[in-house]
Structure 1
């Protein structure tokens, strides 16, 4: 079969949410996660975020996937790692152990912090800190 040059249709999941709802949720997600830093709570879930925003997890997932190319965990871990990197650079926190910084930014345990840090930064938190 020969393919014809037709305009691509929007993915089906995008038809489930209006542009207005999408834009409103994007702003609310940023407010809750970036401004209010709810990601610091290691037990904060996508379900809790959806409940907070008076929506459902499917809509939250659509916004995160389309706008940020990430699922909830990936997005939250990026925010946590960005803050951890800033804390590791900040001399005011030089006396803290890496595990303490992990706790401050919302990771439930050392292993998940190291795994996420390595995936996002490409090195361990200790290697990152040593290179500063």
Structure 2
């Protein structure tokens, strides 16, 4: 019996992880990365995340890819940029230099911060801040 050509087959990597494990890892990942803000630690790698979750990097990768359509670096940078956006829009942080904001959210240097910020938002951090902070 032939399969219907319109019938979609689940990606092979999804068969490597049970739905229970997937859901558990997703919740634990959110706890560590969003609530505990581990993304601020520039040395917190996908391997360290997997170790903290008592799993392997392949499973972490599957959860990030399926749930967020991102790899680890993209996921971490998105969290960093979202926090940076909040800081840049907050008048209490208007006196901080961009390298201080970059460091606060976990980027290794100002250049990678600018590149990721512009890629994610379409504007530079200074342009974004100018929309919120008026002298």
TM-score with structure 2 length normalisation?
0.93
Please state if 1:93 is matched with 2:93: yes
Structure 2 residue aligned with 1:124: 124
Give the whole-Å Cα distance in 2 for the aligned partners of 1:113 and 1:75: 14
Identify unmatched segments of 5+ residues in structure 2. none
Paired residues in the alignment total 130
Aligned ranges for residues 3-42 of structure 1 at < 5 Å?
4-42=4-42
Moved over 4 A (4+): none
Segments of 5+ residues of structure 1 without an aligned counterpart are: none
Aligned CA RMSD, in angstroms, stands at 1.2
In the alignment, the residues of structure 2 paired with residue 49 and residue 39 of structure 1 have an alpha-carbon distance, to the nearest angstrom, of 10
Aligned to 2:46: 46
Could you tell me how far apart the structure 2 residues matched to 1:101 and 1:83 are?
Answer: 9
Cα offset, 1:92, TM superposition: 1.2
Give the secondary-structure state (helix, strand or coil) at the position aligned to 1:49. helix
